[in-house]
Amino acid sequence: MGQSSLLTSDGLRFFFSRIRERLWIKPLVLCVLSIGGTFIAKLADDTGLSSVLPEVNLESVESLLSIMASSMLVIATFAVGSMVAAYASASAGATPRSIPLVIADDVTQNALSAFIGAFIFSLVSLIAVKNDIFDSAGLFAIFVLTLLVFAIVIITFVRWVDRIARLGRVVNTIEQVEKAAGDALDRRRHAPTLGASSVSLDQAGGKGLSVCSSTVGYV
């Protein structure tokens, strides 16, 4: 049972690590959440909080969403161009096996996902606001969500600018390879038999020979 769970967990870890390297996964998830957030804000109209929440000016919400929609598309396009340039630099200055580690960089993927998600959120929310879908409570919820998205985008952009300046450089690529190698060795240390049952010479009835070495080598 322990061996089966170990193999299953290791297989799942390998599967999700491969999925994580795909550039479209996180942007797709953020797009779905952005669209869902717009419709969840509509639920605020059914809570009866319209008389308690402060009234938000419709034009101010439209202006914020319009600014976000226009700026996020430009920033997302710029982010993709910067990522492509960083990947080309990494391809020229590092080994081919290190390129997937550069592509799977979490900060870069999170930044691109945040920019695209903010663009989708602002576009869908702007369409909903202009068609008078929200009452006062829903409009206040959209206003709060817009400010929250603005804060997330600003923080993500600051982190991303620091990372993109180092992404693709040889030193940064070596650090990523070193971390990946360290994680792999640590997993092997905790599972030295790779999920198989270890058998001692006593259990094998004295048949076989134990091969031990104090240095790294091949058999």
Tens-digit pLDDT profile for residues 195-214: 666 666 565 565 667 677 78
Question: According to the model, what pLDDT value does residue 8 have?
Answer: 57
What average pLDDT score do residues 212-218 get? Answer: 76
Counting Cα atoms < 13 Å in the Cβ hemisphere of 150 gives: 14
Query: What is the Cα–Cα distance from 102 to 87, expressed in whole angstroms?
Result: 7
Q: Is 44 exposed, middle or buried (0-12, 13-18, 19+ CB in 10 A)?
A: buried
Domain spans of the chain, in order of start: 24-190
Counting Cα atoms < 13 Å in the Cβ hemisphere of 203 gives: 5
Residue 125: which of 24, 27, 40 has the closest Cα? 40
The one-letter amino acid code at 123 reads L
User: Would the pLDDT of 25 be above 80?
Assistant: no
Query: What is the Cα–Cα distance from 56 to 126, expressed in whole angstroms?
Result: 15
DSSP state of 195: T
pTM, rounded to two decimals: 0.68
Question: According to the model, what pLDDT value does residue 151 have?
Answer: 92
Please say whether the beta carbons of 92 and 32 come within 8 A: no
SS3 content of the chain, % helix, strand, coil (to 5): 75, 0, 25
Residue 10: which of 180, 22, 29, 18 has the closest Cα? 18
192 alpha carbon, distance to own chain's centre: 30
User: Would the pLDDT of 148 be above 60?
Assistant: yes
Query: What is the Cα–Cα distance from 146 to 200, expressed in whole angstroms?
Result: 63
Query: What is the Cα–Cα distance from 156 to 219, expressed in whole angstroms?
Result: 49
